[in-house]
Structure 1
Amino acid sequence: MFVQQLEPVGGSLGLSALVAILPLVTVLVLLGAVRMKAHRAGLIGLAVAVLVAWLAFGMPLDQTFAGAAQGALFGLFPILWIVVNALWVYRMTVRTRHFDILRRSFGRLSDDPRIQALVVAFCFGALLEALAGFGAPVAICAVMLVALGFDPVKAAVVALVANTAPVAFGAMGTPVVTLAQVTGLPLDSVASVVGRQTPLLALVVPLVLVGLVDGRRGLRETWVPALTCGVAFAGAQFAASNYVSAQLADIGAALIGAGALVAVPHARRPAAEPVRAAVLTGARSEDLDEEDPRPEIVRAYTPYALIVVIFSVAQIPAVKEMLARANRVFDWPFLDVADPGGKPVGGNVFTLPLVSTGGTLVLLAGIGTAVVLGVHARVAVREWLGTVHELRFAILTVTSVLALAYVMNLSGQAATIGHAVAAAGAGLAFLSPVLGWFGVAVSGSDTSANALFGALQVTAAQQSGLSPELLAAANSSGGVLGKMISPQNLTIACAAVGLAGKEGDLLRKVLPWSLGLLLVMCLIVLGQSTPVLSWMLP
């Protein structure tokens, strides 16, 4: 048995923490300063984590590699299993041109560009985030806005800012699932607290979007539909994350938010020509006026309807219990780790959710999509393999970062850093969202930031007398605000709208919003750690 040590370097907590933080510093410097590709930075950071675990913290090499392997497997299944299958569904809709039909359908909902921004970037973007995440919503929504006639810069900015509120529950709840896994906290507890923080952002973001699209006039003329959409989205996200399922939080929020928006009479009024002339400064796609047969429109919406139905059925208690029977729980080979108190850690046991995981459910929806859209089995398989090839570097990045996180957690590095950070005392509640924001700003992924800093936040909370669930949730909730300024997302946005090399221009436009909303989140978490807002917590 390997017993974790909190002060292995010279018997000093401070020195031990400085050594323990080396893997994180390595990754952040390589990504932020050296501008190295994320998958390479992740692999180098993993190598540093292994060396620190072995040489400084005394973890045997066989157990170190066993821990890294467990983290890599978790990255592949269930995390990337969800992403691959979700993007596979999207690729099939593009191949059959049903995605174009969907885009034209959105354009016909309203000719007001401010409402179009809410429908496409906020509501549909949230649905894409729910299904896939990892940059897909920004790329797809920015392209759709340009096709509707938006200036490319404005389309990219709107897509980036909109991609905030849904991120914590993106890719079928992947960030919170990862957070629960690396911290050992119950998923329902973590999701519940996150669901009492990020919905507050959803109230504000639609108003910010109409302001970005059309300034004060946009706010003055469309604040009612924007606020209605935000309230509906926030309420649905809160209800789903607290009382239904974290995996369904964004799906429900996106659909209910869109429904509420379309139901507002003001949202369906034709836009004044001066508004359209001022906002739609780009080239409008020529196929927008093309009429699509109603059956084809229904087929275009079917893939998303299938996912909603399958996931909803999977949440029925009897079905959920039946699917859970296929889970496999086993002792991880070569791993026998105890915490500083001698108690075995949860990482010694691994749970493999074969059927109940979101990726398998999306796979079923993908098979149904292929049937409904008339995609031949051979073509469907080719598209799936093409998705894996397209995501090959993302796969390497996620597996290496999660392997790094598992090594740090199992060797005791994260616990040592957490004990050192706890010295911030009450100020830790204010600073905890900043750590998540920084992690996402550098890595581009709330999942990666939760894997890197989740256990650290929990340890620091336990040492400072704060709620572990609150600080773990704050890491994810603060992280969503770093998404819009991450180099990965900025590059994706620029590439999507033909602005390659203009990442710095976009950064200057979205950075003030990122910092402003981060300050709001820090104040919310600080309030929730005191009697002022503690009533908000479960």
Structure 2
Amino acid sequence: MVWKQVIDPFNSIALSVLVAAVPILFIFWALIIKKMKGYQASLIATGLAMIIAIVVYGMPVKLALLSATHGAVYGLFPICWLVLMAVFLFNVTVKSGQFEIIKFFMASITSDRRLQALLIAFSFGSFLEGTAGFGAPVAITAAMLVGLGFNPLYASGICLIANTAPVAFGSIGIPITVASQVSGIPELPISQMVGRTLPILSIMLPFYLVTIIAGFKKAQEIWPAVLVSGISFAFLQYFSSNFLGPALPDVIAGLGSIVCLMAFLRVWKPKTVWRFANEPAATFNPDISYTNGQFIRAWSPFIVLTIMVIAWGVQPIKDVLNASGMAQFEFPGLHNAIQGEDGNLLPKLFKFNYLSAAGTAIMIAGLIAIPLVGLTYREGLNVFGATLNQLKFPILTIAAVLAFAYILNDSGITLTLAEVLANTGFLFPFFAPVLGWLGVFITGSDTSANALFSKLQYATAQSIGVDPVVTVAANISGGVVGKMISPQSIAVAAAAGNLVGKESELFRFTVKHSFYMLIFICFIVLAQAYVVKWIIPVYEMLGSKKATALPDLTKGYTYLLILGVLLAVIATTIMATAKKKEPTPDLVN
């Protein structure tokens, strides 16, 4: 039996929207006003969404339950799998004592919390977003900042806000690839259009972050470093997105801004070192020194992590891993059981890509890192058990949030909300980013939001005479500022920042910044649509048929062999260095 989605169950779009918005408004109320714990708010919101889907939209109980189950399973894999492995890798570094050396290294560059935030939350987080995505950047950078001594709320909050700049090009450009596939617009013009919007935000974001942390006057004290960080990132993001495509902007911009800022800090230092109120003075002792080998060993988990996530993003390697390590099946009872408004049946497939998942890459990095940092595998197993216990409530929260998102999408509730925005006529370009923001808030993923709304963005723009690439790109750009308040992202950041049970505090910390940035992007898109049309790239639509070729697995196996040799050389070098007598640390005087 097939059930057809209903978009306007009351035959009054205004009334339908009021009811459809109830579960979303509940989350805002629960986290901002009621200050509920994340898992409680998510579970109740899921129940509310299910009741509205069944009672108002007429969704069969069986399909509603299956839809929630499908979402929860996706929440567990690959999302929770990735978060678990990311936090495990960090905990291994802490347990071994190597993170103390990393803290010393960061302090030797700068003890200033403002500059540390730019290096780790903004630049390193952007790099991780470009390679792994799906929550890993926030999980790793928030844990690192907390480990460095940051206030947990600020560490998690600024990592969520900093993650705004790179989300559009995350996971080797997957959000733009999906938008292209759904809308029919080639990847490059979408990448170019996004790359002519977000760099404006990227230039301002470092100053914005520092202002949040330390206030406007303290941000002004380090304006040279802020400019170096923001301009280098924005220029490289613009250049790579406009001339190289959507795959590498985050990797290039993230690494480039790290190099530029670190080089600049060799010749410039702030007059005063800023730290949080009531925080002890910087503990950096210039009389202490570590060898280069000790620094490399301490950073080895993150060096291996970087190599692994880059390798896992290379398509030939993905093809090999998926060929021998992926199980795909139709979700029982749900596949092709729902008919969309356009008359097409909705496929419900579950891909268990246990080898090519980013979480698996991080797991392998963790397993390699355990002996490199001086732990035994028994100790590593204990760390994993402690990490699993640490993340039990975030895992429940993420599973509930994804169940919530799937019910909203499958029942048609999301489409009801989208319908109102699509009927704003001449002003639609202004509201186009809101659609992307809404999609990412619900699903926690810019990729998912683009899959949901790119076709609607394309069709609506055509109907009002606006170039569709403007609104499709707006869906992506608006989505990035919804990421920081998505319940899924909040759960990940809370887990990494030791704020489990305090998700409401984190939500209240980020929500106003999300709205500020969303309005800013809305005005930019409105200007692109009607005032600065010359900024829109010239392009041709994709053909209706696209030739597909079987992947060349030989190339993938070759790359894996090179990866194995590279990791073996790195591991051997680090272990050989570790066997040498290394004083803990040398005292100069």
Alignment of 1:278-293 (within 5 A): 282-286=279-283, 288-289=285-286, 290-293=288-291
C-alpha contact (below 8 Å) 2:23/2:48 kept by paired residues = yes
After TM superposition, the structure 1 stretch with the greater mean CA deviation from structure 2, 65-74 or 181-190, is 181-190
Amino acid corresponding to residue 164 of structure 1 in structure 2: I
Residue number among 152, 161, 164 corresponding to 2:161 in the alignment: 164
Question: As a proportion of its length, which structure holds more helix?
Answer: 1
Shift of 1:251: 5.2
Q: 1:314 to 1:338 in 2, by over 3 A?
A: same
C-alpha contact (below 8 Å) 2:394/2:492 kept by paired residues = no
- Local SS of the residue matching 2:272: helix
CA distance in 1, matches of 2:497, 2:77: 31
1:294 equivalent to 2:295? Answer no
Q: 1:537 to 1:63 in 2, by over 3 A?
A: farther
Amino acid corresponding to residue 324 of structure 1 in structure 2: N
What is residue 358 of structure 2 aligned with on the other side? Answer: 358
- 1:406-429 Cα deviation digits (max 9, x unpaired): 122112222222223322234343
Amino acid corresponding to residue 362 of structure 1 in structure 2: I
What is residue 42 of structure 2 aligned with on the other side? Answer: 42
Q: 1:482 to 1:320 in 2, by over 3 A?
A: closer
- Local SS of the residue matching 2:55: helix
What is residue 377 of structure 1 aligned with on the other side? Answer: 377
CA distance in 2, matches of 1:394, 1:107: 31
What is residue 144 of structure 1 aligned with on the other side? Answer: 148
Q: Identity of paired residues, percent? A: 26
CA distance in 1, matches of 2:477, 2:538: 12
C-alpha contact (below 8 Å) 2:182/2:455 kept by paired residues = no
Amino acid corresponding to residue 476 of structure 1 in structure 2: G
C-alpha contact (below 8 Å) 2:394/2:495 kept by paired residues = no
Shift of 1:298: 0.2
What is residue 388 of structure 2 aligned with on the other side? Answer: 388
1:313 equivalent to 2:316? Answer no
- 1:316-346 Cα deviation digits (max 9, x unpaired): 443232123233332211012221232112x
What is residue 207 of structure 1 aligned with on the other side? Answer: 207
Q: 1:68 to 1:380 in 2, by over 3 A?
A: same
Amino acid corresponding to residue 351 of structure 1 in structure 2: K
What is residue 465 of structure 1 aligned with on the other side? Answer: 461
C-alpha contact (below 8 Å) 2:114/2:274 kept by paired residues = no
Q: 1:384 to 1:53 in 2, by over 3 A?
A: same
CA distance in 2, matches of 1:157, 1:205: 15
- Local SS of the residue matching 2:536: helix
CA distance in 2, matches of 1:44, 1:406: 15
What is residue 536 of structure 2 aligned with on the other side? Answer: 535
What is residue 30 of structure 1 aligned with on the other side? Answer: 30
CA distance in 2, matches of 1:349, 1:514: 32
- Local SS of the residue matching 2:351: strand
- Local SS of the residue matching 1:164: helix
CA distance in 2, matches of 1:88, 1:464: 45
C-alpha contact (below 8 Å) 1:302/1:369 kept by paired residues = yes
1:303 equivalent to 2:301? Answer yes
CA distance in 2, matches of 1:7, 1:119: 46
- 1:467-496 Cα deviation digits (max 9, x unpaired): 463343134222256589x99799899978
- Local SS of the residue matching 1:329: strand
Q: Which runs of 5+ in 2 are unaligned?
A: 463-467, 540-589
CA distance in 2, matches of 1:29, 1:512: 14
Alignment of 1:209-358 (within 5 A): 209=209, 219=220, 222-237=222-237, 250=250, 252-264=252-264, 267-269=265-267, 271=269, 275-276=272-273, 282-286=279-283, 288-289=285-286, 290-325=288-323, 326-335=325-334, 336-345=337-346, 347-358=347-358
Shift of 1:92: 0.5
Give the TM-score normalised by structure 1.
Answer: 0.78
CA distance in 2, matches of 1:400, 1:184: 29
Shift of 1:258: 1.0
Alignment of 1:55-70 (within 5 A): 55-70=55-70
| C-alpha RMSD of matched pairs (Å) | 4.5
Amino acid corresponding to residue 479 of structure 1 in structure 2: G
CA distance in 2, matches of 1:319, 1:58: 44
- Local SS of the residue matching 1:418: helix
Q: Which runs of 5+ in 1 are unaligned?
A: 147-151
- Local SS of the residue matching 1:340: coil
Q: 1:171 to 1:138 in 2, by over 3 A?
A: farther
- Local SS of the residue matching 2:328: strand
CA distance in 1, matches of 2:412, 2:486: 29
Shift of 1:205: 2.1
CA distance in 2, matches of 1:490, 1:361: 20
Q: 1:470 to 1:172 in 2, by over 3 A?
A: closer
Give the TM-score normalised by structure 2.
Answer: 0.72
Alignment of 1:188-199 (within 5 A): 192=191, 197-199=197-199
What is residue 9 of structure 1 aligned with on the other side? Answer: 9
CA distance in 1, matches of 2:309, 2:447: 25
- Local SS of the residue matching 2:364: helix
Amino acid corresponding to residue 293 of structure 1 in structure 2: T
Shift of 1:35: 2.0
C-alpha contact (below 8 Å) 1:75/1:398 kept by paired residues = yes
- 1:479-533 Cα deviation digits (max 9, x unpaired): 256589x99799899978xxx99969x95xx888665544332222333444626
Shift of 1:89: 0.5
Amino acid corresponding to residue 344 of structure 2 in structure 1: K
- 1:78-128 Cα deviation digits (max 9, x unpaired): 111111111110000111111111111011124666644533453345567
After TM superposition, the structure 1 stretch with the greater mean CA deviation from structure 2, 356-365 or 472-481, is 472-481
CA distance in 2, matches of 1:495, 1:295: 31
- Local SS of the residue matching 1:286: coil
CA distance in 2, matches of 1:280, 1:393: 30
Amino acid corresponding to residue 37 of structure 2 in structure 1: K
Amino acid corresponding to residue 272 of structure 2 in structure 1: V
Shift of 1:297: 0.7
CA distance in 1, matches of 2:375, 2:431: 50
- Local SS of the residue matching 2:6: coil
Q: 1:286 to 1:531 in 2, by over 3 A?
A: closer
C-alpha contact (below 8 Å) 2:422/2:460 kept by paired residues = yes
C-alpha contact (below 8 Å) 1:331/1:348 kept by paired residues = yes
